[in-house]
């Protein structure tokens, strides 16, 4: 197994998040730089509406752990969705009726997947991002949780965003997802995605 790498700068990691035990960092500087972002999904459990990652319990049945970014909240959410074999797409996907419920009644949406080559480090399987069509007059509002997570780039998407994978999503996937959204909406990529890291090094 490869040694852990810092989730921000990709140097050798010597620290790990005390809450989720999944976020690795090279030093205290990267810990502090990532804290505002990391805390969006890794909580200490004091907020009952957002349980700590370590407290997530897998429900019965064939399910997958996903990330839902609601438009009316500053915080994304871990959720469980039931799976089904999609004969058209020839892969296992979240059940369509549950996706419909999360995206909202009458909301048209599309999805695309993040290629492995997008990640700064290899990750297993595909990640699918469901987004609402950006149509004027549809009554959709700017997604607050996406805007918060994508700071300082402040990406503006209308309506809810759902992220699911061909396996359970992990804490590290959140960085990959937001980097993808920033590049897609603004064209910013590479080291420019995290200018605060470059300034501190």
| Exposure class string for 3-34: b at 16+ Cβ within 10 A, else e | ebbbbbbeeebeeebebbebbbbbeeebbebb
- Range with lowest mean pLDDT among 45-54, 124-133, 151-160, 172-181: 45-54
- Give a yes or no: residue 33 inside a domain: no
Please give the residue range of the domain that contains residue 110. Answer: 46-200
- DSSP letters spanning 47-101: STTS--GGG--PPSSSEEEEEEE-TT-SS-EEEEEEEEEETTTTEEEE-HHHHHH
Q: Is 2 part of a structural domain of the chain?
A: no
Reported as a single tens digit per residue, the pLDDT across 73-125 is 999 999 999 988 777 666 778 888 899 999 988 788 888 877 544 444 445 56
Backbone φ and ψ for 114, nearest 5 degrees, come out as -90, 120
Q: Could you give the number of structural domains in the chain?
A: 1
Q: Is residue 80 assigned to a domain?
A: yes
Closest CA to 171 of 27, 53, 69: 53
């Amino acid at each position: 197994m490869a040694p852990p790498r810092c989730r921000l700068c990709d140097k050798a990691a010597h620290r790990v998040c005390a809450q989720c035990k999944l976020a690795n960092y090279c030093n205290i500087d990267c810990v502090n730089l990532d804290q505002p972002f990391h805390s969006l999904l890794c909580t200490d459990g004091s907020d009952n509406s957002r349980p700590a990652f370590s407290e997530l319990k897998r429900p019965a049945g064939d399910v997958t752990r996903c990330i839902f970014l609601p438009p009316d909240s500053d915080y994304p959410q871990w959720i469980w969705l039931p799976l089904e074999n999609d004969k058209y797409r020839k892969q296992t996907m979240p059940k369509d009726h549950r996706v419909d419920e999360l995206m909202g009644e009458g909301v048209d949406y599309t999805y695309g997947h993040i290629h492995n080559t997008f990640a700064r480090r290899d990750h297993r399987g595909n990640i699918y991002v469901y987004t609402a069509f950006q149509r004027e007059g549809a009554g959709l509002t700017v997604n607050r949780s996406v805007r918060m997570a994508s700071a300082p780039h402040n990406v503006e998407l209308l309506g809810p965003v759902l992220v699911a994978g061909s396996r359970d999503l992990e804490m590290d996937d959140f960085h990959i997802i937001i980097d993808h959204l920033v590049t897609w909406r603004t064209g910013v990529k590479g080291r420019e995605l995290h200018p605060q890291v470059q300034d501190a090094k």
